[in-house]
Structure 1
Amino acid sequence: MTVVSAKQKQTGAGWFGATLRELAPLDADEARRELSDMAEVATENGLTRLAGLLAGKSAAADFLGAVFNLSPFMRDCARRQPEMLDRLFDVALEDRLQQVRAAIGQCASAADVSEASLMKDLRILKTEAHFLIALSELSGEATTEMTVGRLADLADACVGAAVDFLLGDAHSQGKLKLPDPKNPATDSGWIVLGMGKLGAHELNFSSDIDLIVFVEPGAPAITDPFESVDLFARLTRRLVRILQDRTEHGYVFRTDLRLRPDPGSTPLAIPVEAALNYYEGRGQNWERAAMIKARPVAGDIEAGQAFLRELLPYVWRKYMDYAAIADVHSIKRQIHAHKGHGEIAVKGHNVKLGRGGIREIEFFVQTQQLIAGGRFRELRGRETVPMLKALEAHGWITAEARDALIAQYWFLRSVEHAIQMVADEQTHTLPDDDEGIERIARMLGFAGGEAFEAAFRKSLQLVERHYAALFETAPQLSAGVGNLVFTGDVDDPDTLRTLANLGFQRPSDICRVIRGWHFGRYRATQSAEARERLTELTPALLGAFGQTKRADEALMRFDEFLAGLPAGIQLFSLLQSNPALLKLLATVMGAAPRLAAIITRRPHVFDGLLDPLLLSELPDRAYLAARLKAFLDGMVLYEEILDRLRIFAAEQKFLIGVRLLTGSIEPARAGRAFSDLADLTIGAALDAVADEFAARHGKVPGGRVVILGMGKLGSRELTAGSDVDLILLYDHDEDAEESDGEKPMAPSHYYSRLTQRLIAAVSAPTAEGVLYELDLRLRPSGNKGPVATHFSAFSKYQRNDAWTWEHMALTRARAVAGDERLAAAVETEVEEILALPRDRAKVAREAAEMRAMIEKEKPPHDKWDLKLIPGGLIDLEFIGQCAALTGQISGVSRATGTHEQLARLAPEMADAQIRHELVEAHALYSALTQMIRLCLTGAFEPEDVPPGLSDLLVGTSDLPDFRVLEAHVQETARKVRSDFDLLLRGER
């Protein structure tokens, strides 16, 4: 560890005189400008030493310039509090961190402390600690292991200070009688457990903190045991506000209470006895796994430790059922459907939840702990790395696995920190562009992006290999158990028992189906060789489908798929040699009826899964455009082009869906990919229709067409099942009277007919299906107006006659295809229309009235109708659209996407806390909607959801089980509706 030596003090260099890691900025000129700007800030604040350092030439100045250039968060922190850097001339960084933690601990006991002053002090001190912790790791002074410990210590101190203040406040108001007011937490009965990475003392840089709060009603401080739950629930609510509300000084820690028992129906502070009864009677396996990391972090520490001792028999069972291990992993979606299938993408990879990521190492450890911890106390630790060492010492893993996983764990945690240090955002996903990857590489000290990508991919592959080996050696509940005999006409009793053990509810029906395969009733099984291959594959096939939780339905869908196959030998051989592909197929059949139906109707789309680069290539616009160009190459005939477009769109929708299903792309990326696919294929259809139409009717002089994407297409948030909202606009020479073809037409008639042809080309069902369902109701005058609109008429209508709701819809408009010059003119006109002066109060009032009307005329189907529920997607979209319409979006560029609109809400409209709540809510709803629409064709029925889909939804939200997710959705909706009422109705 670096300290400020006597020599460094003498030279005046302080901490900056130490050996700091050399970091290369992304832009050297920009880094120098940042240093110059920061030197001015230091001068303005009277910090002459710091100003001199920043203005001069030294290794320390170069290091700081790179830091400010690579991390906007670090730059902004330094600008707001430059004295943080100046102090490092006099004190070692670790010593200053200790001083900050001590100051945090003293905040609650200050003579004139109030809730407002405490919130301000905690935020200022936490910002300094956060900044210094990042600076230390970036400089190479601190290891990632030191960083996670420092962050956890910081969180402990902040939570402890807030808890002590609240206890003292309750004591002063006579609601509690603290035995020792100078040590408020002692015998207070308020138990605050840190869970997850906080409990394990392994916090990441921009982490939430997971807490569970209990109350011991018999504690000496509690004067009325019957009122204690309500009292401590109120205190807990205040605790969350103190820690996570965003103010002008920032926030302390985002706080998550969702891991408490039955979060949808329990108070925020749960009586100890009720909690113990719950865990012992109804506790889930994931809750047992979570309790491994539980640690009292604030409040009545002794009572918290006593509570955990009571839970020991629940968490650490002497005899472990391997089915419980499988259950934990199933819930957490860690046995990946895509494991081992193809290359691993680096861009856009989730370093926490993705293949070979941090979560796999953590669960590698936790599953072994659950198996062996009941018998070996040494395996009951909270921290990941010490437990890897303990597992090796007891012979549960090899020394090679221990060393590899420890090295990769700290490497992946350092990558996670770099991602989060860029903007202090709670994200675990690498950038999906070259510049973003280069930024992360340089923050980690790599020479460049390519070197980082190679090291990162190697790390993921190593983790994935060890994680896969864990399950290859674990006892298999379904492999090689009993007979599998499908000859003759009578069910074999042992085979029925085997199928039941594998997870099938109707084993006799399954026997009948498989006998049908072997009798050669399908084209794919008519040859003897195909039947032989299928016979060899059947045990693995049944094992894979048996793990889907609704095995019968999954296998029946596979049977429909087989029925449509023209041949089977190649497929059966492929599945036999590629277990990962078989598991992926089983996942699709078991969890995603929509995707299963696509495979069943169009088996050729399955060919796309054979591409080894499928999961490593991002389906961005350039990728899709190149694929489409190659797919249409040589196509001349009109009908042939349209059929090829339908085939291409179906296959790419399926492959985008598979990437989302397997976690190789994030839901937001899937929305952009689905939208890019629609842009390109509808644009190609427009070109084909225009050429075909011109062959008969000629062209209108100066004629130009553009398609304006509206709704989710315009905002680039399409899902697998979205309709497409369009407006077709045209323009032509002023003196053009008719087209110049064999059968000329007047311009208005020409473009109306052209649009009708386009609608038919895109929406009419053919043998190859439908390209997209189109909706043109957002055009001027709606269904009463012409299907094609002259540009000038569109402009006139929008400027003079459009309703507020039409202008709200226009905030999402985006030119998606057609003539480039007209597209640019349309975009400019839309921007000018949206920029027209408006009465903000009137817009908000009309939007709120419209929302109330929708709620009355189209109430939500149930609490999972994420679009229509109060506080659902429509509320978020209306907030974003009103802001865009009334000039309350920060930044210079126009934002068409709801997520971007909410993230850029102007401070005068919404404070940082509300912005954060709205953005988080939109991310949650969008992720869930993407997955639901991908997997289902009809409404989401929570009582009848495929279990595989419920696991996917849980994994998408990174929550432990479906019940917790449901409670989180309800709480999110409540917050959004509250924010909607404040922002658009002016009420709370």
Structure 2
Amino acid sequence: MGLFFKHKLKLLIPIDAEKAAGFLADLRESAVLNECPKLTKQLNNQSSTAFLSAILDLSPFIREVLLRRPAILEALCETPVEVRLEQILADISISWQGEDVTETTLMAGLRKLKQEAHVLIALADLAGLFETAQTTNWLTRLAEACIRAAVCFLLRDADSTGKIKLPDRESPETGCGWIVLGMGKLGSHELNYSSDIDLIVFIDETSNAIGDPLDCVDVYSRLTRRLVRILQDRTADGYVFRVDLRLRPDPGSTPLAIPVESALHYYEGRGQNWERAAMIKARPVAGDIEAGCKVLAELAPYVWRKYLDYAAIADIHSIKRQIHAHKGFGDIAVRGHNVKLGRGGIREIEFFVQTQQLIAGGRFPELRGSQTIAMLGRLAERGWITPDARDALAVKYAFLRDVEHRIQMIADEQTHVLPEDDEGFLRVARMMGYAKASEFSKDFLAALATVEDHYAGLFEQAPELGGDAGNLVFTGDTDDPGTLETLSKMGFERPSDICRVIRTWHFGRYRATRSAEARERLTELTPALLKAFGETGRADEALLRFDELLKGLPAGIQLFSLLQSNPSLLGLLVLILSAAPRLADIITAKPHVFDGLLDPAIFAEMPTRVYLEERLESFLNQGASYEETLDRLRIFAAEHRFLIGIRLLTGAIDGPRAGRAFSDLADLMISKTLTAVLAEFSRRHGTVAGGRVAILGMGKLGSRELTAGSDIDLILLYDHDEDAEESGGEKPLAPSQYYIRMTQRLIAALSAPTAEGVLYEVDLRLRPSGNKGPVATHIAAFGKYQRTEAWTWEHMALTRARAIAGDETLVKHIEQEIASILALPRDKGKTAKDVAQMRALIEEEKPPRDLWDLKLKPGGIIDLEFIAQFAVLTGNVSTKHRSTATEDVLRHLSPSIAAPQVIDDLVDAQRLYAWLSQTIRLCLAGGVDRDDLPPGLVDLLCRTAALPDIRQVEAHLDEVARTVRAHFEGVMRIAAA
């Protein structure tokens, strides 16, 4: 490979040519200041400057690094990029050597070398000099070199302090007994650009390096903890790689480093099929490589079984349901789509390859490789897939990995989601080499569709797990013995009761089954229904919920035909019935909400405010009466709450996005209801001179974090001319009385139960003086109260306040007023003390029910909210833009109260809690009963937390809560100091 700048670099188009030119000028200036003469000269070359200016505009991450470290490019003026990368890897491999190397200097050195390599790999990839496989291989080699350097340093340090006795200090890894396995994409040489690295750490207890066998677990666990810190902790130089150790056996109750014998005993006795799948990609990456190879050889019979029983194969197929909902469901989205986990994404290709390997690898050793593309070829050679499927999936895999890399190259973030906004989406398209976002969208959709088509086809071709279902006879008045046996095998615990229920369907005793055609369609659908219900883990309960649904349907032919012709909708319905009792109750009470799923664009469109408003305008009947308008709003809100929930349930949107969608819907409903109430109220009571009204959204509505079951916290504020004495209608009212009565009417419109249900439960307790004060507040009184009488907790609540509806001029005035109140000078120490006391009071008066009480438990949602609110009140937010969202505030905490690693921990915890709480509130009407969770919901919670079983989810939640509580106490302690 020649010199980087001598190549014909790929032509990329910047978002803003003027900004790109400005960034290039900044780079020239930096090259001069940092004494980079070769680069300064090179920056006059038109072809290279066109590429560089585009990159500087398209990737803020690369721009920030190159402007600070132009010497990275200086090196490429005389050295080919591959040669420079080899030099960096060589420097990393010896960075631990020398008696003067400390943990601090090693961390700094690794971070700088990794950052340079990271940028070079990105530049070569974007320039078209590296193909996808080269990019992932360089990233993997970089990670492996960093891990080995850290491991060598730690081993030598442990030897120096007498913790272990190395056979050879100059080659610390040899015979050291510390086995570091690389898992996932690290293990398969397929690491993505901003990937975590998955590790499992074992201890070879037979190693001569181990002094006291009784202490080895503690010694090597401490070394592993330090390894994570060296690689992961954020410093002024950034970080090396984030590390995930959760793939080890039973991570909630095992040490970080596990003796080999204990690990083998676990895998042989309690190992899960998902752990077998994970071991396909395992390889020793650092430490005692020879011992690591021996461990994997011993695990081979566990991973690659010669014979598989049907139950094991069924379990392998169920791994897919832990990843996301049901195959083949819905249209594929573009913006906001998860390239890795979403429909038609990278995971579908990887998952199929791995499951086929598990099924056939025991008999065919050539199917035991770890790399996705290579294994597609091997599967085709063995006839497990067609050559067409191999070729198509290989091409789309490379394309999707490229998209994933470019998403991550923008800001060096571990994300797989395409931006939703126009500029962000165009940025990815341009980095992929497209001039127009529409052209990229077209090719991206085609790639997803291709993957989805082959994926669905591959599963349809999967071996049948048994013979015919058996007898399914529901005619006559008595139970068929063969049918009872079949139902029992399917998973029904009360087969006789199930027969009775199904006979009720066929006898036409419900409105939905009265027509002969409806009964015929339902009869044809019944085997598929029973099979689907049987797979839920609570077959009887799911079928009885479906029975309740049938009772409420006015007619059944449309639904039965729909489910029969669209198995994916049947899968979705079963998912709801098995995982989400609350949604099932909604469908049962109002089956028409299911109609919204007939919209083919439902999963391609994100439920934004604009999206909802466009659909509402066509739904509202212009000129309708006041009552009809309110009823239409209730119908619309119920349907779209349900559809937002379905998007969340199926993984089309994540928890935080669902919170924004539920809040956008509430904003719109409140605004339209206010407009209707004001018009209706003015018919009898006229208007007040200069009268203006605005509504302040508080709590989770204000922070745009509403859940499916949230009530709404509101404050109504008004203003009018100073000399206004009463309204001008046939029944005039004094201004204060006018707005109090109008607010009461608004509350009734929002929360009164009608035939179409309730829009929202309304809570007004956050208004000035709480329940003792008037329900409507004059803006002047509001400002005076907040400045002179409000307690710290009321100002904390105000940090989430957001004007959501009403007169635009008053809305702007209120936002300015809130901003000025929040900006008032405060004693940071006293505020911290008040916050800590309030948190302690809540903990005393409202103790958490259990670890699933995500809001109230120590280290839960309240701790995160209080940190954010404290930061806003004390001016410790490092952005001028005011945001009410907890995650946004946490992301911009001032360095004076939170280090970068603390911020990362808090943001990660907020996102995890948001997603889990959204899922729980969507699926359950009450609290979480750990022992009575629907099996489908257990799978959803595992998928949400990206962990394979509920025990590990709970262990992770406990770890996150401890971390958040420690950070909460730390922030308050720093502030009070």
Give secondary structure in 1 for the equivalent of 2:411. Answer: coil
* 1:649-798 paired onto structure 2 within 5 Å: 649-798=637-786
Counterpart of 1:46 in structure 2 is 35
Counterpart of 1:538 in structure 2 is 526
Matched, 1:820 2:808: yes
Give secondary structure in 2 for the equivalent of 1:192. Answer: strand
Counterpart of 1:872 in structure 2 is 860
Counterpart of 1:8 in structure 2 is none
Deviation at 1:423, TM superposition (A): 0.3
Counterpart of 2:253 in structure 1 is 265
Counterpart of 1:600 in structure 2 is 588
Matched, 1:838 2:818: no
Change (3 A) 1:188 1:335: closer
Give secondary structure in 2 for the equivalent of 1:225. Answer: coil
Deviation at 1:53, TM superposition (A): 3.2
Counterpart of 2:575 in structure 1 is 587
* 1:406-805 paired onto structure 2 within 5 Å: 406-477=394-465, 480-805=468-793
Structure 1 stretch displaced more, 400-409 or 949-958: 949-958
Give secondary structure in 1 for the equivalent of 2:174. Answer: coil
Return the letter of the residue paired with 2:403. V
Maintained 8 Å contact 1:656/1:673: yes
* 1:53-92 paired onto structure 2 within 5 Å: 53-54=42-43, 56-92=44-80
Q: CA RMSD in A?
A: 1.4
Q: What is the alpha-carbon distance in structure 1 between the residues aligned to residue 337 and residue 315 of structure 2? A: 26
Counterpart of 1:95 in structure 2 is 83
Aligned counterpart in structure 1 of residue 22 of structure 2, from 33, 37, 40: 33
Counterpart of 2:190 in structure 1 is 202
Give secondary structure in 1 for the equivalent of 2:722. Answer: coil
Question: Per-residue displacement from partner, 1:811-842 (whole Å, max 9, x unpaired)?
Answer: 11111111111000000110111111112222
Counterpart of 2:217 in structure 1 is 229
Return the letter of the residue paired with 1:357. G
Deviation at 1:303, TM superposition (A): 0.9
Deviation at 1:337, TM superposition (A): 4.3
Change (3 A) 1:79 1:674: same
Return the letter of the residue paired with 1:639. E
Change (3 A) 1:923 1:325: farther
Change (3 A) 1:322 1:427: farther
Change (3 A) 1:474 1:680: same
Maintained 8 Å contact 1:731/1:791: yes
Return the letter of the residue paired with 1:964. Q
Aligned counterpart in structure 1 of residue 13 of structure 2, from 1, 18, 24: 24
Question: Per-residue displacement from partner, 1:732-783 (whole Å, max 9, x unpaired)?
Answer: 1111111111111111111111111111111111111110111111111111
Deviation at 1:79, TM superposition (A): 1.9
Matched, 1:807 2:806: no
Q: What is the alpha-carbon distance in structure 1 between the residues aligned to residue 626 and residue 897 of structure 2? A: 51
* 1:372-387 paired onto structure 2 within 5 Å: 372-387=360-375
Q: What is the alpha-carbon distance in structure 2 between the residues aligned to residue 403 and residue 622 of structure 1? A: 40
Maintained 8 Å contact 1:478/1:543: no
Change (3 A) 1:336 1:583: farther
Matched, 1:391 2:390: no
Stretches of structure 1 that go unaligned for 5 or more consecutive residues are 5-14
Maintained 8 Å contact 1:320/1:370: no
Aligned counterpart in structure 1 of residue 159 of structure 2, from 167, 171, 174: 171
Deviation at 1:512, TM superposition (A): 1.1
Q: What is the alpha-carbon distance in structure 2 between the residues aligned to residue 328 and residue 418 of structure 1? A: 32
Maintained 8 Å contact 1:322/1:475: no
Deviation at 1:340, TM superposition (A): 3.2
Counterpart of 2:336 in structure 1 is 348
Maintained 8 Å contact 2:330/2:568: no
Give secondary structure in 2 for the equivalent of 1:234. Answer: helix
Counterpart of 2:123 in structure 1 is 135
Give secondary structure in 2 for the equivalent of 1:416. Answer: helix
Give secondary structure in 2 for the equivalent of 1:226. Answer: coil
Aligned counterpart in structure 2 of residue 249 of structure 1, from 225, 230, 237: 237
Counterpart of 1:896 in structure 2 is 884
Maintained 8 Å contact 1:479/1:543: no
Stretches of structure 2 that go unaligned for 5 or more consecutive residues are none
Q: TM-score, normalised by structure 1?
A: 0.97
Runs of 4+ in structure 1 deviating by more than 3 angstroms, as ranges, are 334-342, 475-480
Q: What is the alpha-carbon distance in structure 2 between the residues aligned to residue 967 and residue 475 of structure 1? A: 36
Counterpart of 2:954 in structure 1 is 966
Maintained 8 Å contact 1:189/1:217: yes
Question: Per-residue displacement from partner, 1:788-823 (whole Å, max 9, x unpaired)?
Answer: 110000001111111111111111111111111100
Maintained 8 Å contact 1:337/1:580: no
Maintained 8 Å contact 1:322/1:371: no
Return the letter of the residue paired with 1:979. H
Question: Per-residue displacement from partner, 1:210-262 (whole Å, max 9, x unpaired)?
Answer: 11111122211011110000111111111111110000000000000111111
Return the letter of the residue paired with 1:152. T
Maintained 8 Å contact 1:193/1:296: yes
Counterpart of 1:3 in structure 2 is 2
Matched, 1:883 2:871: yes
Change (3 A) 1:335 1:496: farther
Counterpart of 1:10 in structure 2 is none
Q: What is the alpha-carbon distance in structure 1 between the residues aligned to residue 86 and residue 310 of structure 2? A: 45
Give secondary structure in 2 for the equivalent of 1:352. Answer: coil
Question: Per-residue displacement from partner, 1:139-177 (whole Å, max 9, x unpaired)?
Answer: 000011101111111110111111111111010001111
Change (3 A) 1:297 1:492: same
Question: Per-residue displacement from partner, 1:501-547 (whole Å, max 9, x unpaired)?
Answer: 22222211211111111111111111222111111111112122222
Question: Per-residue displacement from partner, 1:424-481 (whole Å, max 9, x unpaired)?
Answer: 1100000112222211111011121111111111111111111111221223447841
* 1:901-980 paired onto structure 2 within 5 Å: 901-980=889-968
Q: What is the alpha-carbon distance in structure 1 between the residues aligned to residue 755 and residue 468 of structure 2? A: 43
Give secondary structure in 2 for the equivalent of 1:107. Answer: coil
Question: Per-residue displacement from partner, 1:958-980 (whole Å, max 9, x unpaired)?
Answer: 22222222221111111111111
Give secondary structure in 2 for the equivalent of 1:296. Answer: strand
Q: What is the alpha-carbon distance in structure 1 between the residues aligned to residue 287 and residue 366 of structure 2? A: 27
Return the letter of the residue paired with 1:489. D
Return the letter of the residue paired with 1:39. R
Counterpart of 2:835 in structure 1 is 847
Counterpart of 1:289 in structure 2 is 277
Deviation at 1:681, TM superposition (A): 0.5
Give secondary structure in 1 for the equivalent of 2:477. Answer: coil
Q: Tell me the percent identity.
A: 66
Maintained 8 Å contact 2:320/2:351: no
Return the letter of the residue paired with 2:445. R
Maintained 8 Å contact 2:324/2:341: no
Structure 1 stretch displaced more, 84-93 or 954-963: 954-963
Maintained 8 Å contact 2:325/2:651: no
Q: TM-score, normalised by structure 2?
A: 0.98
Return the letter of the residue paired with 1:643. D
Give secondary structure in 2 for the equivalent of 1:700. Answer: coil
